[in-house]
Amino acid sequence: MIRSDLIVPLINVLLLALAAFIVLLAAERRWKLLSSFRAETGPPLHLALARVVIISALLSKVSLRQEILYSTLDKSLVVPPVGWSHLAPHIPRNPDLVTILYGLFVFFGVLAIVGLFGRLACLLTSALGFYLLTLPQLFGKINHDHNLILFGFLLALSSCCDTLSVDAIRGAIKAGRRGTYTSAPKDSLAYADPLKAMMVLMGLIYFFPGAWKVARLGFEWFSVDNMRWTMAKKLFQSPHVTFVQEWAIHHPLALLGGAVFTPLFELGFIFAIFSRRTRAFAAACGLMFHNAIGLLLNIPFVGLQLCYVIFIDWTRVLAWIAAQWKIGRITVLRFGQSELPALNILSKFDWLDLVSVETPAASFASELLLAPDRNGLTVVDDSGINLSGYEACLSIMKRIVCLWPIYPILSSKILRKIGASIYEHFQHARENRNFDAGRASLNLPSDPRIGILFRIVSGTFVLGMILAGLTHSVNAWPIACYPTFDHLESNLVIELSARATDDSGQVYDQTLSFDPKIEANLSPERYDAMLASLMSQDVPDSRQRAVALVNIWRQAYNYPEFKEVTLYSCTYALDADGKLSRLIDNREISHLERRDGLQ
């Protein structure tokens, strides 16, 4: 249910969304923008790299120490995400269970990264990650890492392990043992569609925060004061303020530039990603945007930045590197039975299509390919030079990106001699083996298909992101509108302070807001959200919540048991440097005694 104060802005957001839709239709009619985007194919490498990076990012987002901490917090501190009010009390928060599931999460995550039973591992990692990331989200502040969970499920439903995976190696070896040469997988919609779905989700992640800024604040968003106080409040919460942050907060042009660029980038990003020509530019702007926000406001959104791996044309980058190193194509003219599995593996990792195998039309198992030869493996490069044996192996290795790091080592003079001797030894051992050429066959890569389940799930994610954006569901999980920053900031800041007395009569006066010692255990933004919900008095069981927070404070500082505690909500004004200048209001919000549950 959308709040009453958001009804008029919602109409503006709907108008902006309609305008965006019309622009896309016009671009489709004029340049076939959406049709071209839909028809784009891609290589398996891009999807495989997305798997490695996204699952790694998901693993990095979960800390066992914090998971256990959140599993032991008092239930009165729970403030469920939107739609979770009935479900949240039933989420299991047992520390032993959390530890076991975390171990499984890491185990399956590693399997997903290396690509061993990769798609199943992606599914289980995403499911376990969803549970583990849900626990912290139950305590009043949503950390917007939804995209990692959604992308993980999309990877599980895609052909993300056709290269750069143990699964690809196992399949290649099995084919080689059957006497089958499998050529490299070709570009396909099945490799591109999962990445395109992720791109659209990323575009929606940016579009609605930009739309709400403009729809709710209008020209007020672009005011220098709004940007100054937004920045001042973030810096007030930070223990260290950098020179760049101090400079920016005192320069109106820098503040105005940030205010103008932010909604322009957020609203325009989704249009730019539909074209290959502007996609790289959009990605560069996005990385610049996030790093500037991280530099000035300490909000880097690292998890979202890592997902920019999906926008990079890695084949083009690697091809450029190969061209600088003058690495040309080679053709394999001859190989033996025992070399077939190795060639199959290399074909799965030949991302630049620099290694081809001579395959005469009459028969793959021709004398040219499988004839007995003392030199064994034989290749010819694009200049017509023939290489055999170990030198042929080195020539192939030079063209496989994964092997680039070890190529300079194995091509050194000493190792060249050693390698040639070892290769010759094994070649002699193979000479007496008979190879049934009639069993050899060529297996052309089939075009993988996107299943109906992928289409349903990806469509559901996109529709969910649109609905979450339209309804301003910033505090939803696992599909939400990302932080909008669409309220007008002022120079006022509210802090929670406490005065406690122990049995000996000693008094403890302390400001609990932005306490570095407590924030070191709980994440700063989530701890601050807990205090904000208490001061606003808009959550049930506020007295029990106050007791739970006081107990967290006492335990963090190892204070003795309190006899009584009084909590105050203090409103201060900030000066131009983001420092507290004067106290404006001080009101008591709770008085607690031992019988209330103080420990």
What pLDDT tens digit does each residue of the chain (599 aa) get? 566 677 888 899 999 999 999 999 999 999 999 999 999 999 999 999 999 999 999 999 999 999 999 999 988 888 899 989 889 989 999 999 999 999 999 999 999 999 999 999 999 999 999 999 999 999 888 999 999 999 999 999 999 999 999 999 999 999 888 878 888 888 999 999 999 999 999 999 999 999 999 999 998 999 898 999 988 888 888 778 888 988 999 899 999 999 999 999 999 999 999 999 999 999 999 999 999 999 998 888 999 999 999 999 999 999 999 999 999 999 988 877 777 888 889 999 999 999 988 764 434 444 444 444 555 788 898 888 888 888 888 999 999 999 999 999 988 888 888 888 887 777 665 554 444 444 556 676 777 888 899 999 999 999 999 999 999 999 999 999 999 999 888 888 899 999 999 989 899 999 998 888 888 888 888 888 888 888 876 555 678 889 999 999 998 899 999 999 999 999 999 887 778 888 898 888 888 988 877 86
**What's the farthest any 2 CA atoms get from each other in the chain?**
99
> How far lies 405's CA from each of 207, 400, 412, 582, in Å?
41, 10, 13, 60
The per-residue b/e assignment along 289-317, b for 16 or more CB within 10 angstroms, e otherwise, is bbebbeebbbeebebbbbbbbbbeebbee
Return d(Cα 138, Cα 146) in angstroms, integer. 14
Tokens at residue 34, please? 């959406």
Please tell me what DSSP assigns to residue 595.
G
Domain ranges of the chain: 324-443, 492-596
Instruction: Give the integer Cα–Cα distance in Å for 538 and 123.
Output: 38
C-alpha angle with apex 86: 83 to 90, nearest 5 degrees?
Answer: 120
Cα angle 217, 223, 229; round to 5: 95
Q: Is the dihedral of CA 139, 145, 147, 153 positive or negative?
A: negative
H runs (alpha helix) in 218-324: 224-236, 243-249, 252-272, 276-297, 302-306, 314-324
